[in-house]
Each structure stands twice: as C-alpha cells, then as structure tokens.
Structure 1
C-alpha cells in the first residue's frame, strides 16, 4: 500500500473528540479566529524537490515520479536560485492545477509521461529537503509560508508558478462560507473549498488527524474503494447506472454520476477499476452509514486509501 509523503488535510468531522477539545473547536466555524485559511485548488498534490541549481525531481504525494511538469521544475529553480546558490535544498509543496480546466482533465494531464505546459503549480508550503526526507519539520507553518512567499510573491493564477493566497485568522469570516464561494467559481477557477492551517503547527508526513490541516468543503466528500458497477435503466441500460463503493469499515454505497463516456468505460472495463479509489459527494452521512444524495465524482488517481 502506498503511503502519503505529505501532511494530509482531513475533514473536521474526522478529528477525534480529544483533538477537537485540544484545539478548542466543536465545529469548523470555531476555527475562524484561530486558523489561517488558504484556497484549496482542485488539482493534484505535488512535491517538487529542488536539489541544486540544475536539478529537480517532481513526485505525486504518494511518491510516483511526475514527468508532465518539467517546465514547473525549471521555473522553481529560477525562483529559488539565490537560495540554491547558497547550498540550500527544498521540497516545494503545491497543487498541480490549470486555470479554467476541470480537475478530472488536469489530473489526466498530470499523469502523462510527456510535458503538459498548460499545467501550473499553486505553491502552499515549503520544507527544507532534509526535514522532508526525515518526515518532520519543526518550523511552524507561518514561518515556512513566509519563506515561501519571499521567492514566489507577486505571481498570480495566470503564471506557471504562483503563491497560494493566505488569509490570517479573524480576517476571512466563516470558513464554510468561504468554501461555498470558492466552489461557486465552477471550472472557471476549479476550487475544491478551502484549507485551514494552524499557523503554529509543525509539518509531519502522513495523516493530518492531529488537527494541523483541515479541509473546509461545502459538501461532504468521501474517498471510497470501487468494488463494482450496476447496470442502469432507460438511457443507461447496457452501461453503468451506479458505481458500487465501500468505506474502509465495509459499508457499501451506490452512487450514480459521471459522463456517458466514463460510464461506458467502467462498464466495459470493470476489473480495471476494482480496488481503485472513487470520490463520492453527498449532503451527509446518516447514522445507518448510508449517504444522503450520493453523487459519483470520478476516480481519484492521486489517492490510495478509502475513508
């Protein structure tokens, strides 16, 4: 099983009661005066290792080499040139994204084994490479972001590399309202809500169950294991009507969604999809374990674990 090389953001509802007590929040809205907020660009989590003045390596958050974004690596070498000249090495963390392009298409570009110059990188964190390889950095997020901004400040969503905006605690209002407004942009800007960051938190590879990084999304989403498909009715007879998925605890969910082409491909190649992770959005998870109004959003190629 692949492991996450990044400090993974989690839903507030996934935090333990003890963690919620420690951070002093009974709801995500309680964090508005304590946590900073970043945009959550809807793309693919990306790690760019800056090794020296000439060399970089790019990886997905589960460690697969990325070959579609060399133009991003070259741009970062230029932006960090002064620090690299002094012998520093970094892991730049960001989201592979493309303005005006839906996540599904950008994700496909991200996995190509050839350059895709349309891909951009929204950078949101910076780790000393030695700390990244060790899996922990004791520098607080506010200090890491400040260092990152020195090298990337002044660029915007039209540039190859740009700094993910940051709003300090107490300045942005209710985080769920911000998430709603961002997602209302649609594919024009392709956001997936917002990220709340504890400005004093250290960085640790793995799950963010410690409450350091929390997702704010207008609808609940779950990453579930695909176990099969069911034939549809009417116009979907002879193709996928619903995708059958499972939570890690074995609870089964059936969700319709996807384009006609995606439905046909899943029907014709069911075995190739079995065991992969699919994203399902819903209004809520009921006490029975069922989801209210589930919608299949697509396969998430950058994810390996079921909720």
Structure 2
C-alpha cells in the first residue's frame, strides 16, 4: 500500500448517500454524571481504560483504507496505521474499525494536532482498537451484533503488531468494582474508564447508558463565546475563556492555558482560532449554583462542531 500525497476529503465524499450527518456519525460516550439510573444496563458490564487520545475510525475495503475523525474529516498523517488496520479488516471480514489514536505520555492536544497534520506523517500515534463493525452495521441497514460478540471477534486475532493494539476489556459485577478500577487508573495518572453494556448494539449519534465514561470530576465540551484580558503578569494577554454552559449560563475558565496560547489567541490575527470553537473543560464538580468548580482548559476539540449545551 504505497503512500502518496493527496488532499483530505471527508467520509461523505466517499459515501455521499450515507443516511446520517456528521453530528450523528458515530456513537459517543455518556458522562456518568448524566446517567439516567432507570436506564442503567444490568451487570455484568464491560470496562476498559479511557485513553486520552483522539477518536478515529477506519473504513476498509479490498483496495483502500481511509481514516476519519468522529465528524468524518479525513486524517492524512496516519498512513503507517493502514496496513495493520487492513489486516484486521481482512481477518474479520469486516469494514469499519473504531480506535483511539493515542501516543503514550503525549498530551491530548498534541496528539490531536498530529492527527490533523496534512503535511507530515506522525509515526508516534498508534491505533488502540476497541470495536469493529460491518459497513452494513455501521450504515444501519442490518441488526448490529452485541458489543461482547464484536469484541470477542477482535480478541481472537493474532494480527496485533507494532502500531495496532487491542484495548483490554474486563468484566465488573458491581459499581463498586468499577469505582475501584477507576481509582487504580487515576492513581497511575490515567483519564478513567469506558463502561459498556456487553449486550448492546451500536447507537450512532447517541449518548446513552450503553457506553458510559467515568472520569475524575466532571468534563464538558463547551463553545467559547468570548475572551477576557488577563491582569497582573497576564496583562495584554488572554486571561480567561468565556464558555457557554447549561441554561444560558457562562463559565469563565482561566486555568490550563499556556503562555503561548494566551499570547497567540489574544492577538487579533489568531482570535478566531479559539472564539467559536469547542473546547474540553474539566472541573472538580458542579457547584450548588449550577456552574463549574475549579474549571480548567484541557484542549480544543477540533473533532467536534457542537458543544454539550
């Protein structure tokens, strides 16, 4: 599979008749704090470590592999992953491989930038695979196999090699088991867990109780409405982001920004790199007034077009 220079397209350029738009292309994780307890699936549940990388999916056929973001933008910097993804596809006789683009020890915003690079190849990014579907299952034209069955098929393969890895899945019988597993991950500096209903199909464009993310504190993807100038040592630089929150409220976020970001984004030449964009904001908890306690900027979500509110 020779590498050649090309222009990025979208998933919809390759599949113009696809029945969903980019906001409903793939299934997304529901934050645990948003769970409806009446809809919680029955134990045992499956769980895996939530890697702090970039959501990707590959569409494979007999002659090509294309890698996309969650909203369908094509990634051109991950050519080194394609031979191994192709082998997985052929071994499973399937078409769509869902994985995390991840590089150990590398901050998520850096990995995100690497995936979006249209000039250079980013060989440090690996494919950490957690699901695989037929194109009919992904398209929605047939019944989707339960997640446990899809994962079991991946687990039988011996094609995992230098750039492609299977994300380990475990079973839990209680929420106490899940909480203990999450604590172990947090102590090692990890993000948290993804909890799945092993009997569930696939729900593109949905956030529901069949796939739940468990993170320390709370995390939201919010739209940046405006910028505030800093004070003191940040005078003449970006001081904080004004983000849209629930119920029309605004969250002011000043932590987590680097000096480079503060200088660049306060400039009128680079203002639009952040205003109007979707950013991940982590916080300790929601306050009694319905805002966020100790909000912290985590990174720009270049793979999302809409915020949580």
Shorter-chain TM range is 0.7 to 0.9
> Contact conserved, 1:172 with 1:178, CA < 8 A, in 2?
no
Question: Who is 1:28 aligned against?
Answer: none
Question: Who is 1:60 aligned against?
Answer: 69
Question: Who is 1:44 aligned against?
Answer: 54
Question: Who is 1:216 aligned against?
Answer: 214
Give secondary structure in 1 for the equivalent of 2:154: helix
> Contact conserved, 1:153 with 1:163, CA < 8 A, in 2?
no
> Contact conserved, 1:4 with 1:61, CA < 8 A, in 2?
no
1:1-60 deviation digits (Å, cap 9, x = unpaired): 8414211111122233xxx21326xxxxxx7x43111111111110111111x3111111
Distance of aligned partners of 1:197 and 1:254 in 2 relative to their CA distance in 1, 3 Å threshold: same
1:179-205 deviation digits (Å, cap 9, x = unpaired): 34324434xxxx421100001011121
1:77-109 deviation digits (Å, cap 9, x = unpaired): 1344344xxxx3310001000122111111110
Written as runs of structure 1 = structure 2, the 5 A alignment for 1:274-285 is 274-285=275-286
TM-score w.r.t. structure 1 length?
0.85
Q: How large is the Cα RMSD of the aligned pairs?
A: 2.2
The runs of 5 or more residues in structure 2 that have no matched partner are: 1-20
Question: Who is 2:197 aligned against?
Answer: 198
1:105-147 deviation digits (Å, cap 9, x = unpaired): 1111010113211110110011111211227752100000011
1:6 aligns with 2:6: no
Q: 1:76 aligns with which of 75, 78, 85?
A: 85
Give secondary structure in 2 for the equivalent of 1:36: strand
1:22 aligns with 2:39: yes
Question: Who is 2:99 aligned against?
Answer: 94
Q: State the distance in 1 between where 2:235 and 2:57 align.
A: 42
Give secondary structure in 2 for the equivalent of 1:121: strand
Question: Who is 2:247 aligned against?
Answer: 249
> Contact conserved, 1:39 with 1:195, CA < 8 A, in 2?
yes
Distance of aligned partners of 1:172 and 1:222 in 2 relative to their CA distance in 1, 3 Å threshold: closer
* Deviation, structure 1 residue 76: 1.6
> Contact conserved, 2:172 with 2:178, CA < 8 A, in 1?
no
Give secondary structure in 1 for the equivalent of 2:248: coil
Q: State the distance in 2 between where 1:82 and 1:46 align.
A: 20
Give secondary structure in 1 for the equivalent of 2:157: helix
Distance of aligned partners of 1:82 and 1:283 in 2 relative to their CA distance in 1, 3 Å threshold: closer
* Deviation, structure 1 residue 160: 0.6
* Deviation, structure 1 residue 238: 0.9
Give secondary structure in 2 for the equivalent of 1:174: helix
